[in-house]
Structure 1
Amino acid sequence: MKKIFIVLILFNVSTYSLYAQKKTIEGRVIDDNLKALPYVSIMINDTVKIGKTDLNGFFHIEIPVSVKKILFSTVGIELASVELAEKCDEVEVVMMLSGTYDFITHRRVDQLRMKRFNKLPELHKVAFEKGIFKTIKACYTQEFIPCFKKSNVKR
């Protein structure tokens, strides 16, 4: 009986230490005009708010080691979904301003947005050259979130 009790205690302590592991991430968020974005919400698991940027767009957060995806959200700016690399602890994000598209199809809207999205790595490099960012290249991959998804329903 004592052996079972000791094994259970060791098991509980080891699983507790797994859940307690955290990773510190810091960085900055700017828009595609290279202006700092204040009060951008930072979320994991698409709904759990873990922090926000300060007045100058800087943030410092702690996330569980198991989390690989971070979502940045604010009013007037398109969502930015970032998938972290293994040893990524400096996350500097360029977010696109959202716009209104009238009298064109959803497909064309996504084409125009994708064109702007593909310029974000170049803007990251420009931000580094101007001293806004600390890293020349992002250590994460940013995911394009389309406005319109094709349905598989045939009509």
Structure 2
Amino acid sequence: MEKMVFSLNPASILGPEFYGFLLPWIFTFAIVYGLLMKLNLFEKVNAKVSIALAFVIAFFVTGAAGPQLAAFFINLFGGASVYLAGILVILLFMSMLGYTGYKHILYVIVVIVIGIFLFLGSTGSFIGYAVVSADVAVLAFWIVIIIVAVYLVTKEPPASAPASK
């Protein structure tokens, strides 16, 4: 008796063209169109010209670097998911402790630094291989998250100021 095996592997269902051409094309089109609309370079005919330019630019980009662009985005978003999960854990611990003031400049700097590391790490030649291996980088990242979590859970709440009479 033969068993039927069913899997929901997107690569086998959608085919290699989806990741190698269609997904990078849609992503490039959306980014270019959004930027052109935001810049409003063409005043009254901005929407029509922006669509045409984004369409052409997306085909140029994916025609020249479709599979390479897809590999770049796969690495970028794969690495980003690890960092974003860590940031989410830190924010959850902070909200459990009642901290809600996230408007400090330090948070903006941390997000920018993480973004730079994600961009450089997605190329596969700067962070992941030259400095440390990917396994060591992930291990170090999670150790930092654990240390921050332990600190946030064990720190004493600030003493409140005495009430004036």
Instruction: Place the TM-score, normalised by the shorter chain, in its bin.
Output: under 0.3
Q: TM-score, normalised by structure 2?
A: 0.25
Q: TM-score, normalised by structure 1?
A: 0.26
Structure (1/2) with the larger helix percentage: 2
Bigger Cα Rg: 2
Structure (1/2) with the larger strand percentage: 1
